[in-house]
Structure 1
Amino acid sequence: MDVRQAITDHTKKMNQHLEQFVELDALREQAIEKAIASCKAGQPFTVDEINRYTQLINEHAKQGISPLRKFVSAQMVEEFASR
């Protein structure tokens, strides 16, 4: 394999990794928005879905160059919703 092909393959792999991160991060953000909306409406909410995506993102980050995300607590959602 020549150097150009190796670089191309590596770049494709990193791009695929980042595309998957973007998808997971968007799903996490949707879950956060849903929890915030429920909290603001005075309805019960959970952070389970948020943290499920957080776990997937953090596991995914171990295999490449994507960033980690912090786990979210109910208190964090309540504090944000009260702003």
Structure 2
Amino acid sequence: MNAHEAISAHSKKQFEHLQQFYKLDQQREMAIEEALSLCKAGQPYTVDEINLITKKINEHAKEGISPVRVYVTPEMVQTYATK
């Protein structure tokens, strides 16, 4: 494999890694929005789905260049919902 092919393969791998991160991050944002909506409406909510996706993101980050995300607590949702 020449240098150009190696660089192209590396770039493609990074691109695919980041695409997977963006997909997971969008799912996480949707889960956060759902929890916020329920909280603002005074309905019961959990952060389980958010943190399940967060775990996937953080595991995925170990394999490449994507960032990690913090786990969310119910208190964090409550605080943000009241702003």
TM-score after normalising by structure 2: 1.00
Match of 1:77 in 2: 77
Structure 2 residue runs without a partner (length 5+):
none
Q: CA RMSD in A?
A: 0.2
Structure 1 residue runs without a partner (length 5+):
none
Q: How many residues align?
A: 83
Q: What is the one-letter code of the residue matched to 1:67?
A: P
Q: What is the one-letter code of the residue matched to 2:66?
A: S
Q: What is the one-letter code of the residue matched to 1:73?
A: T
3-state SS of the aligned residue for 2:42? coil
TM-score after normalising by structure 1: 1.00
Deviant stretches of 4+, over 4 Å: none
Match of 2:17 in 1: 17
Match of 1:45 in 2: 45
State the 1:63 CA deviation. Answer: 0.1
Instruction: Give the fraction of aligned pairs with identical amino acids, expressed as a percent.
Output: 55
State the 1:23 CA deviation. Answer: 0.1
Separation (CA, whole Å) in 2 of partners of 1:11 and 1:27: 25
State the 1:17 CA deviation. Answer: 0.0
Separation (CA, whole Å) in 2 of partners of 1:63 and 1:6: 18
